[in-house]
Amino acid sequence: MRRHRQAKIVATVGPASSSPETLRALFDAGVDVFRLNFSHGTHADHRARLDAIRAIEKDVGRPIGVLLDLQGPKLRVGTFADGPVQLLAGERFRLDMDRDRPGDRQRVALPHPEIFAALKPGVDLLIDDGRVRLRVLNCSESHAETEVVVGGTVSDRKGVNVPDVVLPLSALTAKDLADLDYGLQLGVDWVALSFVQRPADVDMAREIVGRRAGLIAKLEKPAAIACLDDIVDRCDAVMVARGDLGVELPAEQVPAIQKRIVRSCRRRGIPVIVATQMLDSMVATPVPTRAEASDVATAIYDGADAVMLSAESASGRYPVEAVQMMDRIIRNTEADPYHREAIDASHTPARPTTGDAIGCATRRVSSLLDVAAIVAYTSTGSSALRMARERPRSPIIGITPQQSTARRLPLAWGVHAVQCEEVSDVLGMSDQACAIAKDEGFAHQGDTIVVTAGVPFGTPGSTNLLRIAEVG
């Protein structure tokens, strides 16, 4: 079940892809990590989907990652007495806390005191994904008088974004806490935290999650970009949530921010997922636009660890075809000689640590000897991630005795995860590495592999050994 590409595919599970048969078809088409979006569906729905994924995992004998995506705070206006209203540019419109009174063309409820606490004159509010823009003229802790800058139709419970301020809101709502507890009990491998504005949001989630799952910071707020490196330092992976970024920031800024996030994650050696509307037209049609194909390829040229499908696989008409298309785009992009040039040109210097030194040396050795595979023994996954950070030419086999680690590694660039028995000495390690590289289809008799590990074995974060071995 080897993938013949380095970048990974994350696919969202939804009504169009919930059956065991479709989930298996998605895996066969190329999915490495399945995303359970807790903004939709019941706990029972998600449990059934996870059980089906684990059944596939058992059948194919390959670790499969499962990502729980938390909803986060949802800021919405109230309802209107007589249906949708049309707001015209230049008009005045009031937002207030009177949730019991239906709205009209002059006002509507905004039952979020946290927003009013952060507002000040000149701040913009965006309604319905930015289709309507209001500018605050004056405000208090219970209301805001605004001018309509960009007019449009507003209807019941449309979402509200406040891009210009940091809102005094926790990234974890009561619903999120319940969902998180349930997901951790189920044994999800990754948790994606929505509405991250500051490093403290990640710290709060880490206190709850601990090391029971990998923690992904979804970067969708301008405030998070302002403290990007501090956030990246605190999490295990990052998701570039371009849909929300594109609402709160001018669309022309999003491509540069995407590249900045990918570079920051690559420097630190943590996985980065590029998400949202990658093959959006395939929700309704069997082929993407050429622009969408180029969008996916751009993320691959930049060295992103994974690209993600949302509605395409969750509710679209062609979920399997979308995965197949994404797989073909990745493989064709990685086969382009310029791809390797771009990856090498964007490589950043390693940090002065023993583990990074081993990773840097392994990259050099694998290039000089044209090795069939790099085998990284790892208990926590950090050794395999160090190898992935180097973006070597050779595929990486992440060998671990820990099932939880094996299930997290499918998100990492170039890493083929294998769960195995623990080894106790260097000779046994080399023999096992050669056998696994051969059995998994990466090497043949007479091929050379590079093996990295930490001695003494089983000590997290102790990568200090590099061994060159010949497959017998």
CATH number of the domain encompassing residue 267: 3.20.20.60
Host domain of residue 382: 354-470
- The verdict on whether 12 is a catalytic residue reads no
CATH of the domain at 456: 3.40.1380.20
Statement to judge: residues 256 and 157 lie in one domain: no
Whether residue 342 lies inside any domain: the answer is no
> Both 293 and 390 in a single domain?
no
* Cross-strand bridge partners of residue 250: none
Active-site hit among 35, 107, 242, 408: 35
Q: Are both 313 and 359 inside the same structural domain?
A: no
Q: Does the pLDDT at position 331 exceed 70? A: yes
User: Does 39 share its domain with 114?
Assistant: no
The reply to whether 276 belongs to the active site is yes
Active-site hit among 12, 146, 276, 405: 276
Average pLDDT value for residue range 451-462: 79
Q: Is residue 419 part of a domain?
A: yes
120 located within any domain: yes
For residue 57, is it within any domain?
A: yes
pLDDT confidence tier of residue 325, bands split at 50, 70 and 90: very high
Cα separation, 30 vs 427, whole angstroms: 35
Which of 142, 161, 180 finishes a domain? 161
Strands 463-470 and 448-454: antiparallel
Identify the CATH number of the domain in which residue 149 sits: 2.40.33.10
pLDDT at position 249 is 92
Beta strands in 60-171 (DSSP E): 65-69, 85-87, 92-96, 107-109, 124-127, 132-139, 143-150, 152-154, 160-161
pLDDT of residue 463: 86
In percent, the amount of the chain with pLDDT more than 90 equals 92
pLDDT of 461: 66
300 and 192, same domain (yes or no): yes
Q: Are residues 97 and 61 in the same domain?
A: no
CA 454 centroid distance within chain? 28
For the record, the structure tokens of 154 come out as 């507003």
Question: In the predicted model, what is the mean pLDDT of residues 18-22?
Answer: 98
In a domain? residue 3: no
**Catalytic position from the list 76, 135, 234, 331:** 76
- Mean of pLDDT values over 211-221: 97
Place of tokens 């969902």: 179
Structural domains in the chain (count): 3
pLDDT of residue 454: 85
The question of whether 218 is a catalytic residue gets the answer yes
Q: Identify the active-site residue in 107, 218, 242, 438.
A: 218
Domain assignment of residue 29, yes or no: yes
Residues 64 and 90 in one domain: no
Which of the listed residues 161, 191, 213 is the one where a domain comes to its end? 161
